[in-house]
Amino acid sequence: VYNISTTHTPGFEANIDQKDYTQARKNFLWFGGTGAVLKGLDRVLDVFDQRDDISLYVCGPIRNNNDFFELYEYVLYENENIHPMGWTDIRSSRFKRLTEKCGYILYPSATEGSSGAIAACRWRGVVPIVTKEVLAETDGWGVTMPDDSLSTIESVVTEYSQIDPDELAAMTEANYEAART
């Protein structure tokens, strides 16, 4: 395995000093392309379907997978805490607003390796919560889950939605600095 640096788009720099960390710790982002099941969206939706104290913003072409969409349509559209955003361009004002609102990108993928979605979110100051298939080491600026089970996702989401806002601010700054270097 050869590690390569992911690229960045100028203008991605986040203004992390202006983020409301009290609110951001309650807002999670799932940001991915096709292959929702391989990228863990089914498990993420199963967890958030049982919660009303935290929010999930789902960005990706989920309608393109008819079987998946048919199975999860009720979860996506019947929960006030789950917000299906559809395809979202990383250069858009919508992406900028979402990354300012969300504290974390939750991505329990079985197929990614330092994905572009994670890189884009990190450049915007969003802390990754991922499986080892995405990032094996996060060195304190993110969270690598030991597995992608529902109980692990539930536990991690609960823990990080309740952390001290100053701790999330410190993680965000460390994540952003690591992304920049």
Residue 41 has phi, psi (to 5 degrees) of: -65, -35
Split at pLDDT 50, 70, 90, the class of 23 is: very high
- Distance from C-alpha of 30 to C-alpha of 82, rounded to nearest angstrom: 11
Longest dimension (CA), the chain: 43
Span 45-70, mean pLDDT? 95
Residue 172 has phi, psi (to 5 degrees) of: -60, -45
pTM, entire model: 0.92
Split at pLDDT 50, 70, 90, the class of 171 is: very high
- Distance from C-alpha of 138 to C-alpha of 62, rounded to nearest angstrom: 28
Task: Locate the DSSP E strands across 9-110.
Answer: 27-31, 55-59, 82-86, 104-107
Provide CB contacts within 8 A for 59, sequence distance 6+. Answer: 29, 30, 31, 32, 85, 86, 87, 88, 95, 98
- Distance from C-alpha of 103 to C-alpha of 121, rounded to nearest angstrom: 10
pLDDT tens per residue across span 61-116 = 988 888 999 999 999 999 999 999 999 998 899 999 999 999 999 999 887 665 77
Separation in Å, CA 143 to CA 12, 20, 87, 137, 151: 22, 20, 25, 8, 15
Confidence (pLDDT) at 107: 93
Confidence (pLDDT) at 61: 92
